[in-house]
Chain A
Amino acid sequence: MARSQARVVVTGLGATTPVGGDVASTWESLLAGRSGVRKLTQEWVADLPVQIGAPAAVDPSEVLPRVEARRLDRSAQFAIICARQAWADAGFSGKASEAGLDPERVGVVCASGIGGLTTLLSNYDQLRDAGPRRVSPLAIPMLMPNSPSANVSIELQAQAGAHTPVSACSSGAEALAYAVDMIRLGRADVVVAGGTEAVISPLPIAAFANMMALSKRSDDPTAVSRPFDKNRDGFVLGEGGALMVLESAEHAEARGARVYAEIAGAGMSADAHHIAQPEPSGRGVVTAIRKALTDAELTPDDIAHVNCHATSTPAGDVAESVALNAVFGDRTPSIPVTAPKSMIGHLLGGAGAVESLATVLTLHHGLVPPTANVDDVDDDINLDIVRTTPRKLDDGPLAALNDSFGFGGHNVVLAFRRT
């Protein structure tokens, strides 16, 4: 199928993550190999099988005014914070029309894995304990999964469309893929895209633990998330997110915007295999990578770096390594890869967005952040894992991939290019 000529570039970045309340502090922590995983201190953790997590480094209550925050689920609080950062970073201020943009040419795609779950649970508590009159009239507008994207569209006066891809842990990457389509199809010139998640609470922790998805290690919290390591036993639940300003290259050039990188292509597939288990041969992942390369008009030889999905589960990390080896063959051991979840945990719907942001910065700065806690590489993992200190990439044009996969068998691979 013919693809549109519109190239899509990244001109603004916003993030709030377990290792930093903004992009600069997040990037600095990733380069330093600093973990945001901690022992949770809330009263409710006492009875839980897992008592660690990766909470946002800066609580949204420290950033947003109280009255604004009380009308937003925590996932939407993260989205508003990220959107304001990314918008300002792209050189815009005020609403779209005040920033010299046509509101009908500005879109939003903000993903969520699970939606406003803690709002739902706290309102259910109200219903049960105090009766129906005490259920908040804001409950639905706060808990609906599209609430973050809707609130960002209101904040920025983005009228080209506000969308919410939901594909579990690949949602944030799917949002970026959707935004690329919006620009290529001529539906928007500027799209604020990414994802957030905020479900560090007893029910999701118990549920993920019962799926055998979470690590049950109880030693040093910062050592628990260990993608590719022999002693990995599951992921750590994180929260936060990232949003980027994407623009058509033409639009960015016309206004003299700084360009971090190009999103050159996207590839998506579904394993059609099992609702939670990864497909062991990595077949769906291979398909998604090949589609992303084709869409970006790249070959496997062009790829200088892969930001892995690598959640630190025993099966998932191996399936990803198998897939990368299937695509890159003999070159695989010479492509530096990294796994940010070793430091930020798993942000579910925010993961693909934060890790894509890390991929963009990796190309922009020419530095691959290290993976923490890879003390003893699993014999079944055949990858060049950057460890301990950042790895410098070559100067000049470079391309990199970000892998994001979700429960349900969703595979989203994005190809980024530094020109």
Chain B
Amino acid sequence: MASTEEIREGLAEIVNEITGVPAEDVQLDKSFTDDLDIDSLSMVEVVVAAEEKFGVKIPDEEVKNLATVGDAVTFIEKAGS
């Protein structure tokens, strides 16, 4: 299983690909909407790409609970364990 840092890095790559936000800005304490300015459509793209990359399922009803990058990393860690 990937480490917390590996998952963060993987997410950062996805966020950069989809939104152009620099990968180094995608840190655990950052809010997807308030800090990274990711809209709801791009968030779905990030989620689907993350599902593919990490081999997990992130149900639609969970997405609203993933406020920060840290929330997403934690969810992926648990879902993958």
Contacts and interface: CB of A to CB of B under 8 A. Distances in A.
A24 interface: no
A133 interface: yes
A70 B18 CA distance: 8
Given A66-B20, A67-B19, A67-B20, A141 B48 contact: no
Contact of B48 (A66, A67, A134): A134
Contacts of B44: 137
Nearest to B21: A67
Interface string B34-45: 000000010011
Given A133-B48, A134-B48, A65 B41 contact: no
A66 B17 CA distance: 9
A136 interface: yes
B41 A141 contact: yes
Interface in B29-77: 41, 44-45, 48, 51
Contacts, number: 16
A212 interface: no
B20 A138 contact: no
Q: Number of contact residues on A: which range applies?
A: 10 to 19
A136 B19 contact: no
A65 B51 CA distance: 26
Contacts of A133: 48, 51
A137 B41 CA distance: 6
Contacts of A138: 41, 45
A136 B42 CA distance: 9
Nearest to B45: A137
Which 9 A/B pairs are nearest by Cβ-Cβ distance? Answer: A67-B20, A137-B44, A137-B41, A138-B41, A137-B45, A133-B48, A67-B19, A134-B48, A136-B45
16 contacts: A65-B20, A66-B20, A67-B18, A67-B19, A67-B20, A70-B18, A133-B48, A133-B51, A134-B48, A136-B45, A137-B41, A137-B44, A137-B45, A138-B41, A138-B45, A141-B41
Given A134-B48, A136-B45, A137-B41, 12 more contacts: A65-B20, A66-B20, A67-B18, A67-B19, A67-B20, A70-B18, A133-B48, A133-B51, A137-B44, A137-B45, A138-B45, A141-B41
